């Protein structure tokens, strides 16, 4: 037990179990097979977008743009495939490239033109959705392609594809952060940009890379969003950035950078989706749900800020000598 508590996964996992139990106690429908498989589909897009958001947060930045980027990219996707007549695969490639390019814009503004990421991506949040509304007179585009829905609802070896995407992408992200030099540099830059610079790390390039990857994961999210509803719409992805940031933060990522484990982000995404699901099942109106999500984010960031105090209280309770509860996971 003690050994489990010392792993970096303990906190987020406990939070997840507590939330799931609480929801299961309030409604019988939570544990129905239909609801659970629906949960998997729901969490997949948020979880994938949250990979990129986590990368940016690990470097000490923040990305507020993926929700709007998704709206823009689903529109571009629908247009190129339905109106432009491109094959589906080519459309996917266009979206992934464009998403990466938009991430590049965020990254250049932040890392090279030194505008704080909060501002650049807040501007992008506004601008990307604005551009999305410029296509097709601001109307959604339905019935993009008869084959598109298979990308989301299909199965491989009886495993729903979204689950498959999540596992593969998280495995890749985990390996990247743990076993590559750029991955290590992301944590180094978030830990201390000055020390990183003096250790020969190109700090700006690392920040740029994080935004680039955030653009890529948002683009993957956009493809899945379009596939799920076989459409593109400038209204997709509203609030997605908040869910993705919440996933990272509930997963224990520090908003001051340098600390966090990508595997915990998926636990955080599950937690926030289960909360939303529980509120839905209990017929809580959307307005109140938004308030709850806001409160959860504040609480999660608070736990990060009060880490030292909480750690002291915990070590006092368990009377465990010496061992610090917070540990680097790299």
Partner 1 sequence: MASLPVALWELEEVTKRFGGVVANDRVSLRLFGGQIHGLLGENGSGKSTLIKTLCGAHQPDSGRILRGGQPVVLPDPIAARRAGIATVFQEFSLVPTLSVAENVYLGRLPLRRGHQVDWGRMREDARRVLATMAVTIDPGAVVGSLSVANQQLVEIAKALAADATMIVLDEPTAALGIEEIARLHALLRRLRDQGRAILYISHRLDEVVDLVDVVTILKNGRVSSPAEQSRIELSYIVQSMVGDVGEHYPKEHHATGEVLFRAQGLGTANRIRDVSFDVRRGEVFGLGGVLGSGRTEVARALFGMDRLDAGSMELRGMPFRPLGPPEAIRAGVALVPENRKADGLFFNFTGFPNISVASLSKLGPYLTIRLKTERQAGRGLVKDLDITPTAEERLVGTLSGGNQQKIVVARWLFADAELFVLDEPTQGIDIGAKIAVYRLLNRLTAAGKGVILISADHDELLAMSDRIGIMSHGRLVGIHLPRELNVTSLVRASTGAVPEKEVVA
Which parts of this chain interact with partner 1 (CB under 8 A)?
A: 178-185, 187-188, 190-192, 194-202, 254, 257-259, 324, 326-328, 330
Q: Which is nearer to partner 1, 42 or 261 (CB)?
A: 261
Pick between residue 58 and residue 77 the one whose CB is nearest to partner 1: 58
What span, in angstroms and rounded, lies between the C-alpha atoms of 302 and 300?
A: 5
**146: DSSP letter:** T
Distance CA 249, CA 288 (A): 21
Instruction: Give the pair of three-digit tokens for residue 12.
Output: 């987020």
Largest CA distance in the chain: 67
Q: What is residue 84's three-state secondary structure?
A: coil
Supply the minimum distance, in Å, between the C-beta of residue 119 and partner 1: 21
Please state, in angstroms and rounded to a whole number, the distance separating the CA atoms of residues 301 and 282.
26
307 C-beta neighbours (distance < 10 Å), count: 15
Tell the smallest beta-carbon distance from residue 323 to partner 1 (Å).
Answer: 9
Nearer to partner 1, 147 or 197 (CB): 197
Cβ-contact 215, 99 below 8 angstroms: yes
CB of 328 to partner 1, least distance (A): 5
- Cα gap 98→318, rounded to integer Å: 51
Q: What angle (nearest 5°) sits at the alpha carbon of residue 267, between those of residues 263 and 272?
A: 140
Q: Smallest distance from the beta carbon of 318 to partner 1, in angstroms?
A: 18
- Smallest separation, CB 185 to partner 1 (Å): 7
Count, residues in the chain: 330
- Which of residues 90 and 308 has its CB atom nearest to partner 1 in the complex? 308
**Min. distance of Cβ 194 from partner 1 in angstroms?**
5
Which two three-digit tokens encode residue 44?
């997949």
Tokens of 152: 């989301």
Count CB neighbours of 40 within 10 A: 16
Distance between the two ends of the chain, CA-based, in angstroms? 22
Instruction: With CA atoms as reference, report the closest residue to 148 among 45, 78, 235, 75.
Output: 78
Element (H, E) at 155: strand 155-156
Q: Which is nearer to partner 1, 90 or 314 (CB)?
A: 314
Q: Is 87 helix (H, G, I), strand (E, B) or coil?
A: coil
Query: In the complex, what is the shortest distance from the CB of residue 176 to partner 1, in angstroms, rounded to a whole number?
Result: 10
CB nearer to partner 1: pick between 190 and 278: 190
CB of 321 to partner 1, least distance (A): 13
- By beta-carbon proximity to partner 1, the closer residue of 85 and 200 is 200
- Residue closer to partner 1 by CB (options 29, 178) is 178
């Amino acid at each position: 037990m003690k050994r489990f508590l010392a792993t970096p996964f303990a906190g987020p996992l406990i939070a997840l179990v507590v939330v799931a139990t609480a929801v299961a106690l309030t409604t019988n429908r939570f544990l129905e097979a239909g609801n659970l498989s629906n949960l998997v589909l729901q969490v997949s897009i948020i979880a994938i977008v949250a990979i990129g958001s986590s990368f940016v947060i690990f470097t000490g930045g923040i990305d507020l743009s993926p929700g709007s980027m998704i709206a823009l990219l689903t529109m571009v996707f629908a247009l190129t495939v339905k109106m432009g007549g491109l094959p589906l695969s080519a459309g996917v490639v266009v979206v992934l490239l464009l998403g990466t390019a938009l991430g590049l814009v965020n990254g250049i503004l932040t890392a090279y033109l030194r505008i704080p990421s909060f501002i650049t991506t807040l501007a992008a949040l506004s601008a990307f959705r604005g551009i999305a509304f410029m296509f097709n007179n601001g109307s959604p585009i339905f019935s993009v392609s008869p084959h598109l829905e298979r990308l989301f609802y299909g199965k491989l070896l009886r495993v729903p594809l979204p689950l498959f995407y999540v596992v593969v992408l998280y495995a890749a992200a985990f390996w990247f952060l743990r076993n590559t030099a750029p991955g290590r540099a992301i944590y180094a830059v978030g830990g201390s940009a000055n020390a990183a610079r003096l250790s020969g790390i190109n700090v700006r390039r690392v920040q740029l890379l994080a935004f680039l990857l955030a653009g890529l994961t948002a683009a993957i999210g956009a493809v899945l969003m379009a596939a799920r509803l076989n459409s593109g719409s400038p209204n997709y992805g509203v609030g997605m950035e908040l869910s993705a940031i919440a996933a990272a933060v509930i997963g224990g990522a520090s908003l001051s950078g340098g600390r966090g484990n990508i595997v915990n982000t998926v636990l955080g995404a599950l937690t926030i989706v289960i909360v939303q699901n529980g509120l839905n099942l209990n017929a809580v109106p959307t307005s109140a749900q938004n308030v709850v999500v806001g409160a959860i984010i504040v609480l999660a960031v608070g736990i990060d800020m009060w880490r030292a105090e909480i750690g002291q209280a915990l070590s006092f309770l368990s009377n465990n000598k010496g061992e610090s509860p917070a540990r680097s996971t790299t």
